Chain A
Amino acid sequence: MKKFTIVFAVISMLFITNNLYSQLVKTVVSVEGEVYDAITHKPLSLYVEVVNADGKRIQKVQSNLQDGSYFITGLTPGGNFEIRIAELDYMKQYFPLFLPNTDKYMEYSKDINLIPKKVGTKILIPVKLFEVGKSSLKYGSDLFLKDYVNLLKLNPTVSVKIVSFADENNSSKNPDLTNQRSAAIKDFLIQNGIEDRRITTQGVLTTDPAFPPPIGKASKGKKYVGTNYLVIEGL
């Protein structure tokens, strides 16, 4: 019986000390990344904040001017957070950050592109939203277009023009096609809560000179789809 009591006492002690240790020494995780200007691709030095699900700021650090790097530590794992950047010359942008539960130290990563808050800034939508010659949004477009919904919601005074380029030059279909495409993007933004008055549209009759279709041998068999932009018109 005495032996049993000693074993029980030792196990209980281990259990208690382990729990105490966990409570005293909480696991923390870190996030590192780099911040760039989305247009010039140059690294930026600015304040990067992490807020929790209640909107409470947990950490705030300044990114390095040389390479745009930042490092945030002391974060409690297990939950959804947001990286927020509010800088006068850039659009306000929030980036979701999920930190999974873990019982050991971990470092996560998040690189950030910031869009300059300047009239005339051309924000390229970097995915093909349409099929060749079509003007209805492809399945899966919402994943990317919701980024722009969030961008416009966070920057309520900003107005934009949606510009759509053609798939080919000198086609009689271009006026209808490009106007319908920019309208389709506008419709999506409106359906997701952006005010009509903040959005204008423009269909361009030519292909995008910044991203021209391939020519010669390289064009054989290639499908080229015109690009789409959000251009900042008002702040």
Chain B
Amino acid sequence: MNKSLQSTFILVAFYLISNMPLLSQMLNYTMTTVGRHNDEVLAVFVNEANTMFATGSLDETIKLWSLPDGKELNTLKGHLGAVYNVSFSGNDKLLASGSEDMTVRIWDVATGKELKVLRGHLGPVIGVYFSQDDNSALVASTSFDKTVKLWDVASGTEVKTLRGHTEATNNVAYSYDGKTIASCSDDSTIRIWSTDLHTTAPLMILRGHHAPVLTVLYSFDSKKLASSDADGMVIIWDAKTGEILRKFKAHNDITQDVAFAADNKTLVTGSLDHHVKLWDTDGPNLLMDMDLGVGVWSVDLVSDASIITVACDDGTVRLLKRNDNTKPVKTKKGRK
């Protein structure tokens, strides 16, 4: 073999090896089951301070758990149907839940007391998301009735109904700058709405999914949106322009939930294909892939992605903890 060819071969091999982060930089996590509901666990949400997480279940209850140890703290009862989603307020004092019983309920996190029952949706409530301002003034909700509603928490009144989705609305998220709301739907679109109470037309309609869009979430700097769909596709959007930044097949089954870490680029995804995956969305590069052996309905993580909380379809609540010897995710100030 001639020398220059040999050098080229070595260079190419070196390039290929050095560009294999999938193997060289994979993060190691250890799974523990910390408890269970009496039925499938549909939702999980980590609070701002990373000291607690909440789960919602088909068993009609909400449970609060401590972090990092995963000790069960309280069980909140009151819904008369599956609890599809939960969300802490920006100040961690309140929790909102959305249920099959068509209500949004507001709970006092410290006491577990039900503070408000918000009735107004004409179908099961699928998504809830608290505004992340210090006052935690508003809650957004989505429903099988195709609408997105905004509720004033203090008075319990419906201050805005956003219409336009042509099928059930699945999930909703507030941007962390408080300016916009994103909703996703079985109609395969994402709609961006102003939080200004007098604007009711969508600011943007994002098209790119070819299946029901199951979740949507802003990054902490409010610059990006992540969404996932029933075919296992994940899309990262420019939140300002609506441009698709990344689109990739993350899973082989329904991918019900995603969550950003505080670095605004690390994303966890969970699917009914039994896998939880951690991604560097700049690639996208797969940082971790764990087969849990059960379907995953919902995932969330703490700010530095050292702990991933998982809601499973066998009723278990699991924590994936990163082993200390693996590379940490760079953190910035922000929730989760």
A interface with B by C-beta (< 8 Å): 32-34, 36, 98-100, 106-111, 113, 126-129, 138-141, 143-144, 221-223
Interface-central residue, B117, B147, B157, B160, by most chain A CB under 10 Å = B157
Contact of A223 (CB < 8 Å), options: B39, B101, B149, B154: B39
* Contact B58–A223 (Cβ < 8 Å): yes
Chain B nearest CB: distance from A104 CB in Å? Answer: 10
| Separation of A128 and B147 alpha carbons in the complex (Å) | 23
* Contact A110–B80 (Cβ < 8 Å): no
* Contact B155–A100 (Cβ < 8 Å): yes
Supposing A107-B197, A109-B149, A111-B145 touch, asked if A126 and B157 sit within 8 A by C-beta, the answer is no
* Contact A139–B77 (Cβ < 8 Å): yes
Chain B nearest CB: distance from A35 CB in Å? Answer: 11
* Contact A140–B80 (Cβ < 8 Å): yes
Supposing A140-B78, A221-B39 touch, asked if A32 and B197 sit within 8 A by C-beta, the answer is no
Interface flags, B100-141, vs A, CB<8A=1, else 0: 111000000000000001001110000000000000000000
Would you call B161 an interface residue if the criterion is a C-beta within 8 Å of the partner chain's C-beta atoms? yes
Contact of B161 (CB < 8 Å), options: A111, A128, A222: A111
The total of chain B residues at the interface (CB under 8 A) is 35
* Contact B120–A110 (Cβ < 8 Å): yes
Q: Which of B31-76 contact A (CB under 8 A)?
A: 39-40, 58-60
Contact of A113 (CB < 8 Å), options: B100, B122, B155: B122
Chain A nearest CB: distance from B199 CB in Å? Answer: 11
Contacts of A126 in B (CB 8 A): 101-102
| Separation of A100 and B197 alpha carbons in the complex (Å) | 15
| Separation of A100 and B157 alpha carbons in the complex (Å) | 8
Interface-central residue, B39, B40, B80, B81, by most chain A CB under 10 Å = B80
Contact of B80 (CB < 8 Å), options: A33, A107, A141, A222: A141
Contact of A98 (CB < 8 Å), options: B100, B156, B313: B156
* Contact B157–A98 (Cβ < 8 Å): yes
Chain A minimum-CB-distance residue to B156: A98
Chain A nearest CB: distance from B323 CB in Å? Answer: 31
| Separation of A34 and B78 alpha carbons in the complex (Å) | 28
Contacts A126-B101, A128-B100 known; list 19 others, CB within 8 Å: A36-B122, A98-B157, A100-B152, A107-B160, A108-B157, A110-B120, A110-B158, A111-B145, A126-B102, A127-B81, A127-B101, A127-B102, A128-B60, A138-B80, A139-B77, A221-B40, A222-B40, A223-B39, A223-B58
Q: List 18 A-B contacts (CB under 8 A).
A: A106-B197, A109-B120, A109-B149, A109-B161, A111-B120, A111-B145, A111-B147, A127-B80, A127-B100, A127-B101, A127-B102, A128-B81, A139-B77, A141-B80, A143-B117, A144-B80, A221-B314, A222-B40
Contacts of A36 in B (CB 8 A): 122
Contacts of B58 in A (CB 8 A): 222-223
Q: Which of B85-104 contact A (CB under 8 A)?
A: 100-102
A-B contact count (CB 8 A): 70
| Separation of A138 and B61 alpha carbons in the complex (Å) | 13
| Separation of A36 and B147 alpha carbons in the complex (Å) | 14
Contacts of A144 in B (CB 8 A): 80, 101
Chain A nearest CB: distance from B144 CB in Å? Answer: 10
Chain A nearest CB: distance from B295 CB in Å? Answer: 10
| Separation of A126 and B160 alpha carbons in the complex (Å) | 24
* Contact B80–A128 (Cβ < 8 Å): yes
Would you call B270 an interface residue if the criterion is a C-beta within 8 Å of the partner chain's C-beta atoms? no
Q: Which 9 A-B pairs have the closest CB atoms?
A: A109-B161, A100-B155, A127-B80, A109-B158, A127-B101, A113-B122, A128-B80, A140-B80, A140-B78
| Separation of A98 and B101 alpha carbons in the complex (Å) | 22
| Separation of A100 and B101 alpha carbons in the complex (Å) | 25
Contacts of A113 in B (CB 8 A): 122
Q: Which of B141-174 contact A (CB under 8 A)?
A: 145, 147, 149, 152, 154-161, 163
Contacts of B154 in A (CB 8 A): 100
Contacts of B79 in A (CB 8 A): 140
Would you call B333 an interface residue if the criterion is a C-beta within 8 Å of the partner chain's C-beta atoms? no
Contacts of A221 in B (CB 8 A): 39-40, 313-315
| Separation of A108 and B58 alpha carbons in the complex (Å) | 32
| Separation of A138 and B149 alpha carbons in the complex (Å) | 28
* Contact B80–A111 (Cβ < 8 Å): no
| Separation of A110 and B122 alpha carbons in the complex (Å) | 10
Contacts of A140 in B (CB 8 A): 78-80
Chain A nearest CB: distance from B118 CB in Å? Answer: 11
Chain A nearest CB: distance from B112 CB in Å? Answer: 14
